[in-house]
Amino acid sequence: MDFKQLQYFVRVAELGSFTRAAQALDIAQPALSRQVRQLELELHQHLLQRNGRGVTLTEAGQMLLEHGHTILQQMARAQEDLGHARGALTGRVAVGLPPSLARRLTLPLIAAFRHELPQARLEIVEAFSTTIAEWLGSARMDLGLVYSPARHAQIEIEPVLQERLNLVGPEGSLPTAGGVAFAELWRYPLVMPQRTQIFRKLMEAQAALSQIKLDVVWEVSSVPVILDLVRTGHGFAALTDSALYGQGTADGLVQAPIHSPHIVSTLCVVQPARQRATALVQHTAELLQRLSLRVCAVESGQ
């Protein structure tokens, strides 16, 4: 089995598309297809089912993907350990960032990474917290910032900070003092992401406890688009300070704390539990903690 072919197969399987994988790998799609087909011929197995929307894994492909993640991680760890032995942190680390922080955190993270880890490579993926947690649980990435992750054996969780959810609306639409009691939220039409997103899960869990029904009028899986809808009068949103100010501007918007009770989201650094954290991953985790605290402190005015 050729190592490069295995890398190509894993990327195609993760992205579910030869086109997206070719773009990510910076290789021509026909060449990528040939490499994966050669791997199938060598293994005497069909690994991928091609369809109009992309590819799906066969049973053999799913088995190889699980082994492939382990093999690639071991290779990366070997390269990093050898680099560390000569006094340099080398290798590649993949980091997942939630949309509420990705815009504000990516540039300072890259700048710090370039300064402190010049011989290492960084890959940043933006996704909602639940998706990042799933990827970390299956060891598809090395680190992630995740809001209020559910605890399970596949991940290790390190809390960084807590943020309260606020009700966000157009200028002049919310009380200027005192905030909004949770029991009054039924009065506000809400623009929220899908049910798996953590802010919505926190809100709906409390709504069930409080025996009230939230009025979700629009479901949108993009924080910038949610804010655009709120700004133009299509509803209200429940977001943290970092989610609101992390999009570059809060012009035309106001927010009021949700209280009685407060809804608190905990930002955590999360990594897979079943693999030993390398020196590179440990250093990157420290960077994530430091920069997250700095960015959120600036946004909250502390």
> Looking up tokens 């025996």, which residue turns up?
211
Distance (Å, whole) CA 246 – CA 176: 22
Q: What would the pLDDT profile of 151-206 be if each residue is shown by its tens digit?
A: 888 899 999 999 899 999 999 999 878 899 999 999 999 999 888 888 899 999 99
Distance CA 76, CA 79 (A): 5
Question: For residue 106, is pLDDT > 60?
Answer: yes
**Residue 88: per-residue pLDDT:** 61
The pLDDT, as a whole number, for residue 297 is 67
**Under 8 Å between Cβ of 257 and 180:** yes
What pLDDT does 271 receive? 92
Rounded percentage of the chain residues whose pLDDT exceeds 70:
93
pLDDT at position 294 is 84
Domains of the chain: 1-87 (1.10.10.10), 89-161+266-302 (3.40.190.10), 166-262 (3.40.190.10)
- Of 100 and 129, the one with more pLDDT: 129
**Spatial CB neighbours of 120, under 8 Å, sequence gap ≥ 6:** 89, 90, 91, 92, 93, 113, 280
pLDDT score recorded for residue 85: 57
Instruction: With beta carbons less than 8 A apart as the criterion, state whether 49 and 56 touch.
Output: yes
The mean of the pLDDT values for the chain is 87
Q: What would the pLDDT profile of 239-276 be if each residue is shown by its tens digit?
A: 988 888 766 667 889 999 999 999 999 999 999 887 67
**CA 137 – CA 153 distance, rounded (Å):** 8
In degrees, rounded to 5, the angle at the alpha carbon of residue 125 between the alpha carbons of residues 123 and 130 is: 140
Q: Find how far residue 176's CA is from the centre of its chain.
A: 33
Question: Identity (one letter) of the amino acid at 205?
Answer: A
Q: Is the pLDDT reported for residue 118 higher than 70? A: yes
pLDDT at 302: 46
Answer yes or no: is pLDDT of 10 > 80: yes
Does residue 238 surpass a pLDDT of 50? yes
Give CA–CA dist 242/107, Å, rounded: 15
- DSSP H/E element including 239: strand 237-239
